[in-house]
Amino acid sequence: MATNDDNNQVKGIKDLISESQKSDKPTVAGEKVQEKFEEKMKNIRIKELEKEAEKKAASSGFPYINLVAFPINGESLNSIPKETAKKEKVVCFYKSDKEVKIASPDPTNPKLKKILDELIEETIKGKGEIYLISEYSLKKTLELYDRFPAPRKFVHGIKITGEELNKLKKEIKNFGILNAKLNKTKNVTLIIKLILAGAMKSNASDIHIEAEENKITLRYRVDGILHIVGTLDKDLWKQIDSRIKTIAGLKINITDKPQDGRITVFLKEEDKLEIRVSTLPTAYGESIVMRLLKSTVTSLNFKDLGLRGKAFDDLKTEVERPTGMIITTGPTGSGKTTTLYAILNKLNDPETKIITLEDPIEYKLEGIAQSQIDHSKGYSFADGLRSILRQDPDIIMVGELRDLETAKVSVQAALTGHKVISTLHTNDASGAIPRFLSMGVKPFLLAPSLNAVIGQRLVRRIHEKCKIEVKIEPEKLERIKKILNNLPENSGYKIDFDNLKFYRGQGCDECNHIGLKGRIGIYEIFPMNSEIEKQILSGKASEYKIAEIAHKSGMISMVQDGLLKATDGITTVEEVFRVIE
């Protein structure tokens, strides 16, 4: 219904039009008045339509909304294809990872329920609602499709859900079956689902899809090692490349520049699989690498790291100290971050404020405030660490000590009542102290702040279901005995050299005929003592001297820890020598 103000404005405009029409020739002013009148009448009609829609919503029990000025993003809008939106008179105006909201002038249309249910499947919470809108609201919202880039047609209808992937996982017994299934279909959607399901089945950390001259090669990184798991017809490359780029939010028309994107797969309840996607131009197309990161990890238990004997007792003691710094060292992929997360899980309780600074956040930990640095916005480790200290933390985890500034702030935090845990890129534990000093950290600050240093690597476990005993070549056996004979007297280990036994996995379907499944850490750990402190204060602490002191104090080296695990049938001798020579 028009208001009194509307009626008065319309009457005034009509009078002006009437005066203009008395003239033989309409004036420019008269034409403008005519346009203004028509615009005003249109606005009044729109208001009436919205009021009618609002009344209809109230009587039918559906919530009402006016979408004309509502901020709708392209991702939400395009979750319903344009053709479907026009045909069924429905639009999606809000979609997040937790809920979906769609709207229509006819919310009782039975087809809307099916559309909503399909969109809800892609959310964690499984919430959705249908709203009633006016025909004008629908018209203006449909016009937005022309403003947002339309997805490629073959993308419509693709869904990657945990339920489907789990079903496919049961069918993929080994890599051979996966390759056969991949080559039995030309359906690109199914191919991508099979690739993801196979990766989850084999517990792969990365998927590599590489365009070669005559084929597409698929490789999984399982337990740190790449395995070729299948090949695909090269004719499928453009479709596979475009599909992955689209669901990862990348530009499908760019093939000559690197791109980075993300895919989220909802598994169950609050659990989801985050996939970081990276594309890189190559001679025959592109290389696509997808890193799989589960958002929730419950298996990061301090006791499951692989620490034993004196090393376990030493680290447990240092972890339970209220202040000071614990550093873990090793190259990329040696499990340093996993060790830090396991320590945080052990220390996590409601009475303790824990804050992390990471690049990137790999796993979400409940009860811990996790902050991700962003170099593009000037949020570095050093800047983030200063901000963290204003948050009144008890424990701070810094993903990596990369520069002097971050190292200095971390040392100061450890000296002022905080527990700090972090990582350094050095070959072994004894190299951490010379690295700190070379970065410029003052010896008199480092010595009292450091509690313990960990050196580590990851070795693959022998698959228990296909484990058999093996004989070692005489030359290799002599080398093993020489290393184990040098164990520190106070390490707590006594070796029976006459009855050494070693094992390997002979391979089965469950381990994809690799003979190895899962990984475990091999460690060397030394806590601070007076002799090491003297070396630091001298400012001339060498890696060799620190290692000698730590050895005398009972520290077993990584290679010794690895060989001890090999004699216990946990890993193979070849694995130990592969990761640390």
Model pLDDT for residues 131-169, shown as the tens digit of each residue: 999 999 999 899 888 877 654 333 333 455 666 777 788
Cβ-based neighbours of 290, under 8 Å, separated by 6 or more: 199, 206, 207, 209, 244, 263, 275, 276, 277, 278
Write the single-letter amino acid at 84.
T
Contact 454, 432 (CB under 8 A): no
Packing angle between helix 28-60 and helix 4-21, nearest 10 degrees? 150
- The secondary structure of 456-480, three-state, reads EEEEEEECHHHEEEECCCHHHHHHH
Please count the other Cβ atoms lying within 10 Å of the Cβ belonging to residue 372: 13
Residue whose structure tokens are 């009021």: 51
Write the single-letter amino acid at 57.
A
Which backbone phi and psi does 293 adopt, to 5 degrees?
A: -130, 115
Q: What is the pLDDT of residue 9?
A: 52
- Give the CA-trace dihedral at 407, 409, 414, 415, to 10 degrees: 120
Structure tokens at 543: 């890696």
Q: What is the pLDDT of residue 413?
A: 94
Q: Residue 448: pLDDT above 60?
A: yes
Q: What is the pLDDT of residue 37?
A: 67
pLDDT band for position 433 (50/70/90)? very high
pLDDT band for position 544 (50/70/90)? very high
Q: How far apart are CA 198 and CA 105, in angstroms?
A: 44
Q: Residue 522: pLDDT above 80?
A: yes
Q: How far apart are CA 426 and CA 332, in angstroms?
A: 10
| DSSP-based three-state secondary structure for 437 | helix
Quote the longest CA-to-CA distance of the chain: 122
pLDDT band for position 6 (50/70/90)? low
- Give the CA-trace dihedral at 258, 261, 263, 264, to 10 degrees: 150
Q: How far apart are CA 209 and CA 394, in angstroms?
A: 44
Write the single-letter amino acid at 100.
V
The residue among 386, 430, 406, 437 whose CA lies nearest residue 540 is 437
Mean pLDDT of 408-433: 95
Q: What is the pLDDT of residue 157?
A: 31
Q: How far apart are CA 522 and CA 236, in angstroms?
A: 43
Q: How far apart are CA 479 and CA 491, in angstroms?
A: 20
Domains in the chain, start-ordered, CATH in brackets? 4-56 (no CATH), 74-150 (3.30.300), 162-294 (3.30.450.90), 302-579 (3.40.50.300)
The pTM of this model reads 0.69
- Give the CA-trace dihedral at 98, 101, 102, 105, to 10 degrees: 160
Please count the other Cβ atoms lying within 10 Å of the Cβ belonging to residue 271: 16
